[in-house]
Every structure is written in C-alpha cells, then in structure tokens.
Amino acid sequence: MTKSVSQLLLVLAVVLLSLTISPASAFEIKIGLATTDQEIIVSSTEESIFIDLANNQIISKLDKNKKCKLSKSDGLISISNTNNNHKIGKFTGPIQLIPINKNGLVVLNDKFYRGYFTVQNSYNNKGVTIINNINIEDYLLSVVPSEMPNGWHKEALKAQTIAARTYALGFLGRRKNKGYDLEATVEDQVYLGVSSEKPSTNQAVVETDGEILVDKFNNPIIALFHSSGGGYTDSIENIWDKKDIKPSIHIQPRPDFDDNSPYFEWERTISLKSISEKVQHLEIGEVSEIIPLEKSISNRIKKFKLIGTRGNKKINGDNFRRLLKLPSAKFNFTKNDGEEIRFIGRGFGHGLGLSQWGTKALAENGFSYKHILAHYYPETMLSTIKNSNIKGD
C-alpha cells in the first residue's frame, strides 16, 4: 500500500467518524474502559484501521469481525492476529482502532461500544489502558439506562439524561492523570456499552439533545445524583472534603420525595469485630465505641470519632458508611449487648444533587424534567453544549 493511499484512508476514516456526531451536540469524550497488564482482544463490526498516533500513520487494516490481540511487551504496545498469531508489530503508541463505516462498533473482549478505541501505555507504565473515544450523546445511550431503570416515567428519564450529560461535562478531564476524562464505573457514571441501551432512554437522549445545566457564568455545573435522599438531600460541604469537588450553591439540602424507595428506611446490624476489621487501616486496634461528632441539617453524620484499643481516630461520615457498606450516612445507631451496633437509617447513596427516587415520584405526579431539575439543582439554567463554556483537557 502506497503512502498516498494510506493517507487517503486515514482522511476517509476521520471524515466518516465525524459524521456520526450530532451537529447540535458535537462533543467527544474519553472514557477509561480498562487498565490491565493482561492480553486484550479487540475487533470491529465493520472494516477498520489501526493508526499509530506517534506518527499519524496507518499500521494495518482490520477486516470485519477479525480479532487482534493487544498487550504490553518490552515497554511497547504489541498487536498480533488471533487467528494465526501473526505479529503486526510493536508500537510506542498511543494507537487507535477506528471503524471505516460510521455505523461500525468497536469490540473489547466481546463487549460492543460506539465510537473508537485508543490504546496507550498505562499511567503507571505497568500495562495498557483502553479508552473509548465517543460522542457524548452516544455515551449517554448506555449511561442513562445503567443509572436509572428504563421503565420509569419519561420525564424522570429526561431529568436523569440531562444530569448525566452535565456531570460528564462538569467533570471533563477529571481523570486526566490516567489519560481520559471519566471512569466507566460508579466512580463516575456506569457505562456498559451498546448492550445496555434501551429504546425509552434512547428517546430521552434524543429529546434532550445537547441540553445541560449551567451556572450564571454559563459553565456546566457538577451535577451529582444519587438513588434516594431519605426525605432530604444535602450539600457537598456537609458530606465530602474532596479536592476536585468544591462546595456549590447548586448542591444544597432540598426536600426529597423518595418515600417509595426500597431504601427510604433501612436497618443493619454489624458486630464491633467486623467494624474493627473494616477500619483496620486506621491502626486503632479493636473498636470499642463509635461517637458521632457532628450532623448535617438533613441528619447525616458528618464526622465520627472511633475509640480503639490502640488509639482514637476521627473519620468522615460518608467514608465511614462506605467502609461499612451502609446504604447512607443518614442514620442513628444503638449498641446491642455490647458486641453489635444496630444502624437505623434512611436513603441510599451520598445524598447530593438529584435523587432518582424523588425524581420518579415528581415525574409521576406531573412535574416536567425542567421543574425536577430546578428543584434539585437550585440557581441553575438550562442551556446547550453549543452555547456553554466547557472546560477540560
């Protein structure tokens, strides 16, 4: 293949890829799918090409549904054919796998994704990182049904869609130290690829194309959301002390309407021995007593003091509930027979921003997605990706 033909194919691939992006919301994001030192298998449902971004040269063509193995070898990214184990080569990377046809899907270990793949050396240089470069609207086709049941009221689905779209843009570049924007897990938003897409949530994405929540400076807000607020949501400053999530006037305590949530009220009993094991990294020995030091206006415990046989430590309330795998930090507790703690609480999740069960109730009672978003995200405005100020790397 001559160099001119190679360059022509490269241009063709880029042009065709751009055609998949909706003009109203043409914005590509990078989702980290996996970082591994193990061999991975990639393919595409249509003819595709590997490109070496180090020199913008085509490495090889990959036929429809043909699989290739990628791995880390001698500090380089190795590509080989799975059928005959023929080695295509080793590259410094990053490398990309791009379908020629705009309708082509890329496949990672038998999971299908829209957009294309970028494979690069991992941030810790111990393996490779696989990134899905994807139009944000296509990304949402998977995220929305992964975060909210697709059978819920359409206004709830629209509210969730705009929250998820805004979250992605508000946190753009959050994982830049790893080479991408967001994780594909609950650490950011659950993204499972094409397999999770549903007609009802696809429609919600289409009907809210490009809509996001912005502040008075026209910047996307950090649109946090959770399952169930237990009657009242909360503010960031009451729950977290994170460097990348600052207190916000848009995430404040709001009445919730999540009475029908299965976690509106919950109860757990955990032994002190088990609690001691879960907080052993604090190095305070066996926990003998748990003392709540401060509560938020919505009754979430902001800070605890743990009394141990080898010392005492203060711990953030949300971190504590995560360690104990409690549904929320909104609880009271009693000591049973000296060896067990009985937790009685409300809600599920961190309690910040939009409550999904509250959203469901509001939608079912005739509230539009615009009213729902205005309730859970005060002092915000609806805008579009095209008309907003988007920051990122």
User: Is there a domain that residue 364 lies in?
Assistant: yes
User: Is there a domain that residue 356 lies in?
Assistant: yes
User: Is there a domain that residue 392 lies in?
Assistant: no
Query: Quick one: CA dihedral 173, 114, 14, 42, positive or negative?
Result: positive
Helices (H), 244-292: 272-278
Shared domain for 170 and 123, answered yes or no, is no
Give the model's pLDDT for residue 391: 65
| pLDDT tens readout for residues 23-35 | 445 699 999 999 9
Shared domain for 176 and 225, answered yes or no, is yes
Domain residues for the domain of 150 are 138-258+351-384
User: Is there a domain that residue 393 lies in?
Assistant: no
Shared domain for 249 and 303, answered yes or no, is no
In angstroms, the CA 61 to CA 247 distance is 49
User: Is there a domain that residue 390 lies in?
Assistant: no
Shared domain for 132 and 54, answered yes or no, is yes
Shared domain for 52 and 199, answered yes or no, is no
CA distances from 260 to 193, 229, 231, 266, 357 (A): 30, 11, 11, 12, 7
| pLDDT tens readout for residues 313-358 | 999 999 999 999 999 999 999 998 878 999 999 999 999 999 999 9
One-character DSSP codes across 65-125: T--EEEEEETTEEEEEETTT--EEEEESS-EEEEESSTT--EEETTEEESSEEEEEE-TTS
| pLDDT tens readout for residues 50-93 | 999 999 999 999 999 999 999 998 889 999 988 777 889 999 98
Mean pLDDT value of segment 355-379: 98
Shared domain for 245 and 373, answered yes or no, is yes
In this prediction, residue 16 has a pLDDT band, given cuts at 50, 70 and 90, of: very low
Shared domain for 271 and 333, answered yes or no, is yes
- What are the counts of helices (DSSP H) followed by strands (DSSP E) for the chain? 9, 23
Shared domain for 148 and 247, answered yes or no, is yes
Shared domain for 304 and 234, answered yes or no, is no
Shared domain for 162 and 282, answered yes or no, is no
User: Is there a domain that residue 273 lies in?
Assistant: yes
Shared domain for 355 and 328, answered yes or no, is no
Last residue of a domain, one of 83, 112, 137: 137
User: Is there a domain that residue 124 lies in?
Assistant: yes
Shared domain for 274 and 379, answered yes or no, is no
In angstroms, the CA 278 to CA 281 distance is 8
Indicate if the pLDDT at residue 108 is higher than 50. yes
The count of structural domains within the chain is 3
Q: What letters, b where the CB count within 10 A reaches 16 and e where it falls short, cover 107-125?
A: bbeeebbbbbbbbbbbbee
Last residue of a domain, one of 117, 137, 157: 137
